[in-house]
Every structure is written in structure tokens, then in C-alpha cells.
Structure 1
Amino acid sequence: MSPEPTPFTLAISQAELEDLRDRLARTRFPDRTPGDAWAYGTDPDYLRELVTYWRDGFDWRREEAALNAFPQFRVELDGIPLHYLHVPGKGPEPIPLLLLHGWPGSVLEFLDILPLLTDPAAHGAPDAPSFTVIAPSLPGFTLSFAPDQKRFSCEEMAATLARLMADVLGLDRYMVQGGDWGAFVGSCIAYSHPDRVRALHLNFLPLRRDAAVADAPSPEEEIYLAELAEFLKEETGYQVIQGTRPQTLASALVDSPAGLAAWIAEKFHVWTDNDGRIEDAVDRDRMLADISLYWFTGAIGSSFWPYYARSHGPWPIPLGEKITVPMGYLQSPREILRPPRSAAARVYTDIRRWETLEKGGHFAALENPDTLAAELRVLASSL
């Protein structure tokens, strides 16, 4: 018998909100290292400002209501309470779309793009296909977490979400879109179930160097390798600690909301296309809603596990294997890494769309929801 989903409404208690405010009021801030702001991590001056606003100005109830405006469900699947949004598309024959977030993200990233995908006619695209969107909280992340539950690698998340689509929702054919870990998970689903995935769309390319770059790299691949070397040198400290000692870091962040905010906000600063302030690219309330969701669920430690599994196991797509389903890609100028098409084509053999933006970063659904929705419509129409 297939697992039976139950409707879900997020409702954080007033006592939890008051506890958060009390903890924020007692924050001990670090001193400021001499030098440029953000040069050594989260700027203490910005953190003080953010914590003050989180305590005194941020309206969690408004963000909670925005999420609850969409149909949500939970289902016991593979030993966890899997949470997902299931938003029906309007118009004839909407296309099922599995929409996947990454770290340090959540389904809150999708609140602006959901209406664009499910009701394009109401948003200036009357002839575009619509989508019925299934947007899960990744296993082990925020609302798909319970204390002491098992941890999930990318491959295990892919298997669970494939079961959600087929066994729980009865969907034999669907599209998949993902960024960050969602791109890894979506690629795993497309690799393992090419008969089910109508098309795969990514805004991040999960490529291993020895599979994607030729022995004699092209000029574009040389640029990519240089960017990769700089990233590995300067920007992977979080990966190392999350991939080797996740429990130790979780002990700090699950107890300190200011520490959690510093850890996550630094990624929003580095990974978005901003002009010095995160808010140039992403709404502050939406970022704090994401941070708050990690705080209230206590899921930050579990969300680290894909890094540990990746560091201690094989690459999710076996070396030499190909992903053959139709694929589209949206590249942002401030994405973490920007492999050239030649590199991607060595793994993804049926690239239908390859678009490059002039502005944007890692969080495409937050920074460029209109463009991401339009690209999904074009890819769907091309099928």
C-alpha cells in the first residue's frame, strides 16, 4: 500500500518566537578583525544590524502565512516525515514539475516563482504551458526533519523523491528543476529514471573535474579550471567542516540563532549578485524566513549530511556515465562555478537550452524568478 499523505500547515508556537527573541537579545557579538568588511567571513557590523532587525522588526507570522497560502503535505516515507508543497497548475494538461532547493535554502525560495509556474496566463504568458509543482523540503532539511532521524546522501534523497513522485503521487512522467544540492539530486533522478524524467533543468552544474574537462582543455575550460582553483582555495571552508565534523558545528548553530544567521548570511553575501549588501539581491525578510525555518526546525546539522556523504563516498553520477534526458541550463554571472557548455556536454548529452544571464547569482528562484520560470516554459514547449 502506498503511504498516505496528510495536509500540513506550519504553525510555530508563540513560545518559540519569544524564546528566539530572548536569545537574540542576549547575543554576544565578536570583535571586528581589522580589514575590509566580509573579508574574513560575516561582517560583525552587518550581523549586529541583522540580529537587531530579526529581533525587533522581522514578522515571522507574515512569512509563515505566505508559505501556508500554498497546499502542503507530509508523508512518512523511507523513515522520515517528508514535507512537500503540491500546487496544482491551471489550464489544460499542466506538466508535473519536481522543484528542488539546495543548501542553505528551503521551499521558501519558491514562494515568488510558484504563481508564475502554476498560472502563467495570470502573469503575462497566456500561451505558455503551466506546471503542477511538487516542491519538497529535501530529506533532512527543515520541514523534512525529525530529531535523530537517519541522514541522506544525494543518491538516497533522489531515491526517496522518485518514490514520492511515483508511489505516493502516481506520476509516471515529470520534469525536474534544481540548483545547488537540488541539481545533484535532480541529476541523480534523471540518471536513475530516464524513463520518468521528461526534461531536466538546472541553474547549477554538478560536474566532477575529471569527467567534465578534456585532457587538453579549451580556453573556456581553462578559465573554468582557474575559477575552480580559486573557489577551492578561498571558498570551501564551510564544505570542509560540514563534510568532516558536522556534529560539532551543529552544536554551535542549533544553540545560537546569531551564529546560525552569521553562517547562512555569509553564503547569501558571497553567492548572490549584490553590490555590497545582500539586500541588493535578495529580500531581507525572505532570507530571515529561511534562517528562521532552520532555527525553528533544528535541522541545520542534518542539512550538513550531503557534504559528509559527498566527502566520504563516490561522486553521485558514476565516472563515465551520461545523463541522456533533455536538459536546459540557466547560468548566472555570480554563480559559484560556471562550467562551459563543452564541459557540461560530456555528461549531459541532450542539451536543449543554454542561457546566460547578465545579472544574478546562486539563488535563481529568489533573484530571477521571472527568468527561471520563462526558461522552464521554453524548455517544456520544446519537448
Structure 2
Amino acid sequence: MNHRTNDVQAFEANATAADLEDLRARLAAARLPEAETIYRAAPAPQRWDQGVPLADLIEVVNYWRTEYNWRSFEDRLNRIGQFRTTIDGLGIHFLHRRSARADARPLILTHGWPGSVAEFIDVIDELADPNDGDAPAFHVVAPSLPGFGYSDRPATTGWGVGKIAAAWVELMGRLGYGKFVAHGGDWGGVVTTVLGGRFPEHVIGIHTVLAQPPAGLTMDGLTAAERKWAEETREFWQHRAAYAKQQATRPQTIGYSLVDSPVGLLAWILDKFSEWTDTEDSPFETISRDRLLDNVTLYWLTQTGASAARIYYESHGGVNKLHRDLRVDVPSAISIYPRDIEKCPRPWAQVRYRQIVRWTTPETGGHFPSLEVPGYFVKDLQQGLEAVLAASR
């Protein structure tokens, strides 16, 4: 691991052969429960009503143990360019891909949970050096959130979304990017909103797939479609967010399973990829097993199942404060994907985001658009940030 200094240091991912063999041995020795007590033939979303079906899990576990190639993902990370730096005493890992274009602008991409920098592995090159010469180009920075991936695991409390956003400003400054644009989804969307609201002197504008409305807004004046969005979001938080309650209140407890059992970690994450993607049954309809396992294996090898879960413990209170008083005055582009878990009506979004320069509602895609619909995602992000940059001139 790199020295803890304020300098930016090059970093390479290189798991030991012993760690990879230990993973395969644990997978081979896994004790699995009996099958779920419901049965439906695929494809049927109801197959997942009790969680990950046993047959599906066994198939992925066998592939993970016998065919999956972690070294291929490591090589891709290393080719993009990996670095670490220490901010407020914590080592922060990030990908950094500079564009060859003279007119490129700095862009920071922030992932969420249960994601990682693996969410952006298939889109960074096109964002940096697009095939379309008329599309905007970016110097792309994609950090690993504190407690995720190759970033350090915080040993004290305090690393909530506000502190993370401030750290991102420091990070971009160290790279020579005093002004930049930002994108994020899930927790990355919250961090991106904080960046736009609290650091307008550095943040030119933002693009997000998670618009966060202030609390207490009514449905008065919403269209029928907007009411449906609001109702679906409320239903999600009332009936399908047990994972968030667990991680916000007892991350240490679930953490033992996530760090000790690769099958437990896989099931915990696979469950969300199934429920939150725009698919009829399995997340593998749109996301390859390799890409999902890149993400899960990164959690496993870095032993970050517990530390990543703590972002809920650290940030839920901060999000409540965010709901009350934060306003985003910089230009904002917002995309709401149809199968995402939170869908904010535009009239609600406009209360917080005061200068929405582009609003899109794609026809397909869910919570992980950079993995589900990467081609569309890149074009949407390019066009959204193009509108942001035009509005900031």
C-alpha cells in the first residue's frame, strides 16, 4: 500500500494468489440454506419475493469459483490509471483518466452502494476520448468512497456525505482541477448534490440520476404520472428498504457476514441488483456476471463489506438535514430512469435545484444505468453536462 502523504501516489491493484485461492476454497465449502418456499418458473420477478433464489445463487457461485477471472478486472483498473492520496488522515483511492482533447473539462464521478468504481469501468474511456468528435470530453476522476474498495476504512465516525463532498473538492484541487463538473447516483448522487449546493465556487454544475427533494412537500399540483413516482418511492422506503435500516442502525452486525462469507456478501448485493435493475427477472439480462462479480469481488478482497455499509450509519442524519435546507443554484442536469428506486417529480426537484437546464426521463434503465445501458448513459451524461457547461458561460 502507498505511503500516507498528502501527495498523489500511483497505485496498482494486485491481489495475492493466496487471497484468490482462499476465496475459491470458501466458495467450495459454503453452507447454503434450503430453497425458498415459493416456486415460479423463470422469467418471473416474483421468484425473488423471499430474496435470491437458491438455484440462481448456486449458478453464480459455481461460475465465480471456476470461471470468473479477477485478473482481467485488475488489468482494466490499472490501464485506466489508479492513484491514492490522503485527505483528513484517510487514504482515498481513485481512478484518473486524462483526456487527449485540449478542450476537455474535469469531471468527478461518484458511485454509491452496493456499487463501486466498477460501475464506471465501461464508460470512462468514451467520456475521456469520445468517438464523436463533437461530443464533450472530460478528464475523468472516479474516487472510491471512504470505506469502499481501495480507499481506507475509517476508524472513527464522521465520514458522512458532507465530509466526503469536501474531500472531493480537496482531491480535485490536488489534481489541478479548481473548477469541475460532477455526476453521481445513489449515495454518489447525494454527494453530488452537496457538491453543487455547498461548493459553487468549485463546481461548475452537476448531473445526477438521483434528485433529492426537500422533505414535507405535498402532492398538490402533481400530474398522475408524478404522483405515481412519489407513491412508488414512498412504498419503497416503507416496505423494501430493510437493508438500509440495518446498515444505518447495525452495520457492524451485518458486517460480520459480509466480511466473513463470500456467499453472504454475494447474496446481499445480488439481491439489490435484481430488484433495482430494469429487467423481467434476473439482473444478468442487462449486466454480465463478470461485471457484477468484479464489483462483489472488489468488496471481498478489500474486506469492505462492513465499512461500506457504514455510509448509511454516517449519512442518514446528514441526508435529513440536506432535505431541510440545501439549495443547488449551479446548473443541474437530471435524469430519472424508469426502474430506479427513487423517482423525484420535477416540481419537487425544482424546489432544491434552482437551475435545471436539462431534465430527461429515459425509456429504459434502472438504478445502475452505467452498467445496464452504458451507451445511452454516456450520451445522456455528455448531453447533460454540455447543457450545464453552456449555462455556466
TM-score by length of 2: 0.91
Cα separation, 2, equivalents of 1:147 and 1:300: 13
Structure 1 residue 131 corresponds to structure 2 residue 141: no
Change (3 A) 1:364 1:319: same
Following the alignment from structure 1 to structure 2, what is the Cα–Cα distance between the partners of residues 95 and 363? Answer: 24
Aligned residues: 377
Which residue number corresponds to residue 258 of structure 1? Answer: 263
Moved more, 370-379 or 126-135: 370-379
Instruction: Decide whether the 8 Å contact of 1:184 with 1:316 is kept in 2.
Output: no
Residue aligning to 2:18: 15
State the shift of 1:316 in Å.
4.8
Superposed counterparts of 1:121-270, under 5 Å: 123=131, 125-146=132-153, 148=155, 152-166=159-173, 168-210=174-216, 212-213=217-218, 217-270=222-275
Is 1:356 matched with 2:366? no
The answer (yes or no) to whether the contact 1:151–1:305 under 8 Å persists in 2 is no
1:367 pairs, out of 372, 380, 390, with: 372
The answer to whether structure 1 residue 82 and structure 2 residue 92 are counterparts is yes
Classify the secondary structure of the residue corresponding to 1:76: strand
Distance across 2 between alignment mates of 1:146 and 1:237: 24
The residue correspondences of 1:270-281 to structure 2 (distance < 5 A) are: 270-281=275-286
Which stretch shifts more, 30-39 or 296-305?
30-39
Change (3 A) 1:208 1:29: farther
The alignment's C-alpha RMSD in Å is: 1.8
Q: Secondary structure of 1:143's partner?
A: coil
Corresponding position: 1:114 with 2:121: no
CA distance 1:208–1:282, shift in 2 (3 Å): farther
Cα deviation 1:222-278 (Å, max 9, x = unaligned): 223321232123210101110110000001110000000000000100111122121
Residues 299-322 of structure 1: CA deviation (Å, up to 9, x unaligned): 111111221123445525251432
By how many angstroms is 1:341 displaced? 1.0
Distance 1:314 1:71 in 2: 32
Residues of 1 paired with 2:269 and 2:352: CA distance?
31
**Residue 39 (structure 1) aligned with residue 46 (structure 2):** no
Q: Residue deviations 1:98-128, cap 9 Å, x none? A: 11110011111111101110111xx2x1112
Going from structure 1 to structure 2, the CA distance change for 1:209 and 1:94 (only over 3 Å counts) comes to same
Paired residue secondary structure (1:295): helix
Q: 2:109 aligns to what SS in structure 1?
A: strand
The CA deviation string for residues 308-340 of structure 1, in whole angstroms up to 9 with x for no partner, is 123445525251432111011122111112112
Q: Which runs of 5+ in 1 are unaligned?
A: none
Distance 1:162 1:25 in 2: 44
Structure 1 pair 318/261, CA: closer, same or farther in 2 (3 Å)?
closer
Please give the secondary structure, in 1, of the residue aligned with 2:183.
strand
Task: Say whether 1:3 aligns with 2:6.
Answer: yes
Does structure 2 conserve the Cα–Cα contact (< 8 Å) formed by 1:142 and 1:300?
no
Q: Which amino acid aligns with 1:113?
A: V
Identity among equivalent positions (%) equals 37
Distance 1:97 1:337, change over 3 A: same
Aligned residue in 2 for 1:98: 108
For the 8 Å contact 2:214–2:352, the answer to whether it is kept is no
Partner Cα distance (1:313, 1:62) in 2: 38
* Whole-Å separation in 1 of the counterparts to 2:183 and 2:77: 20
In structure 2, C-alpha distance between the alignment counterparts of 1:288 and 1:174, rounded to whole Å: 31
Give, in whole Å, the separation in 2 of the partners of 1:213 and 1:69.
49
Unaligned runs of 5+ in 2: 40-46
Distance 2:129 2:326 in 1: 37
Structure 1 letter corresponding to 2:137 = S
Q: Structure 1 residues 270 and 43 mapped into 2: Cα distance closer, same or farther (>3 Å)?
A: same
Contact 2:335–2:362 (CA under 8 A) maintained in structure 1 = yes
Instruction: Name which of 314, 320, 326 aligns with 1:315.
Output: 320
AA of the residue aligned to 2:356: I
Change (3 A) 1:85 1:194: same
2-structure distance, mates of 1:381, 1:33: 48
Task: Please say which of residues 4-13 and 90-99 is displaced more in the overlay.
Answer: 90-99
